[in-house]
Amino acid sequence: MRVPAKVNLQLAVGPRREDGFHDLVNVFHAVSLFDEVTVREAPPRQPNPSGAGESASSGADTGVSVTAADPPEASACAGLTAGGGLGSHLARVPLDESNLAARAVALLAERTGRGSPVTVHLDKHIPVAGGMAGGSADAAAALLACDRLWGCDLPPRTLAGYAADLGSDVPFALMGATAVGMGRGEILRPLAAPGRLRWVFALSPHGLSTASVFGEYDRLRPDAPEPRLDPALATALAGGDPAALGAALTNDLQEAALSLLPELERTLKTGSGAGALGALVSGSGPTCAFLVGGVDEAEADGREAAVVAELEGSGLCEQVVSAYGDVPGATVL
Ligand code: ATP
């Protein structure tokens, strides 16, 4: 399976709800940074002395392994080469039943009663704890892979419901392309986004926990208004206008992410100063996203090269990666 990362074109965050979640207007955009997720039947176990049959798969008997290879479009920033790159993020990925991919396997087995033990291998290219929903992407891929492997062939609506139970960002990783998420982000409506966009992502050597960023948001914005889709963003997207879209990118969590990791402000200024059409923290951060143009724009070549060069030379980020969007969601290879 191949499954993309997301960047948020708009992330409007309402007040904290009684259940602890926040109402969101979350404009998701899938980009060409992909995790590859391989799910296989586990080798048969030794016969059980009690004679009982094999039980349905659970998170506990799902073997998870992880590797990372830096994508060809990636380059390390000055001064941060040694030990950097996505490989250094792998220590943050749990290999037990708390891995979101293992949780997806366990949930599908429990709901359908069709599970058999599996192994899941994650080849990670999406930054870990980077605000690009890498864990959610792996969960979506594992869910779809087991649905096919076990012959469940559930309708998309049922899979989307299971995905929402796994996490707010999981349904979008199944769907891909560009969509607005309402509720806590899981109620999706596709948005037309004609023309592909080119992006540069600055990966931070640090991770930010989503919970701590929302906590900081609650502290900074105790009277947050109800979230609304920004009409300027919707018009820019529908019109395929990268410059207008760049000017309309917003993220209500950005202030909280900058409060926890102030150096991100310099990263954003570096990319903007080099000519990016728009710059923002992706989701809860700390990855910073820079829109550099449409894929067919000749001048976007120069803009992308300038943004990449300035970020690489800044010493602020661990890695700089180019990508495009939108792209489809979780796909069987
Ligand atoms: P969010 O969806 O909240 O924006 P994120 O993109 O910032 O999340 P993830 O890469 O999804 O961050 O990881 C968040 C945490 O989830 C990690 O620190 C890690 O401990 C845990 N985790 C569980 N499963 C996975 C997985 N398959 N890949 C990465 N992290 C995982």
* Whole-prediction pTM: 0.91
Q: DSSP alpha helices (H): ranges in 133-253?
A: 134-149, 156-166, 170-175, 210-220, 231-238, 242-248
Residues of the chain under the 70 pLDDT cut: 45-60, 69-88, 298
Among 138, 147, 169, 252, the active-site one is 169
- pLDDT score of 46: 61
pLDDT of residue 104: 97
Residue 129 is labelled as binding a ligand: yes
Q: Is 15 annotated as a binding residue?
A: no
Residues 245/197, Cβ–Cβ less than 8 Å: yes
pLDDT reported for residue 207: 82
Beta strands in 51-177 (DSSP E): 63-68, 74-76, 118-124
Most ligand 1 atoms within 8 A of CB, residue of 210, 217, 264 to mutate: 210
Torsion from C-alpha of 124, 321, 262, 21, nearest 10 degrees: -50
The Cα 288–Cα 201 span in angstroms is: 6
Place of tokens 């979008």: 172
Q: Ligand 1 centre from 179 Cα, in Å?
A: 21
List residues near ligand 1 (CB under 6 A): 92-94, 99-101, 122, 128-136, 138, 169, 207, 210, 283-284
Q: Is the ipTM of this complex over 0.90?
A: yes
Q: Look at residue 51 in the predicted model and tell me its pLDDT.
A: 42
127 is in an annotated binding site: yes
- Beta pairing class for 288-294 and 278-281: antiparallel
Contact 124, 93 (CB under 8 A): yes
Has 142 been labeled as part of a binding site? no
Token pair of 158 as six digits: 């049922």
Same fold flag, 2-45+53-74+85-190 and 197-325 = no
Which tens digits make up the pLDDT trace of 159-187?
999 999 999 999 999 999 999 999 988 89
Domain ranges for the chain, please list them: 2-45+53-74+85-190, 197-325
Q: Ligand 1 centre from 92 Cα, in Å?
A: 8
Question: Per CATH, the architecture of 197-325 is what?
Answer: 2-Layer Sandwich (3.30)
| 118-174 per-position pLDDT tens digit | 999 999 999 998 999 999 999 999 999 999 999 999 999 999 999 999 999 999 999
At residue 92, the pLDDT reads 83
Backbone angles phi and psi of 172, in degrees to 5: -65, -35
User: 6 catalytic, yes or no?
Assistant: yes
Q: Report how far residue 315's alpha carbon sits from residue 317's, in angstroms, rounded to the nearest whole number.
A: 6
What is the CA(168)–ligand 1 centre distance, in A? 12
Looking at 1.10.3720.10, 3.30.230.10, 3.40.640.10, 3.30.1490.20, the CATH number of the domain 2-45+53-74+85-190 comes to 3.30.230.10
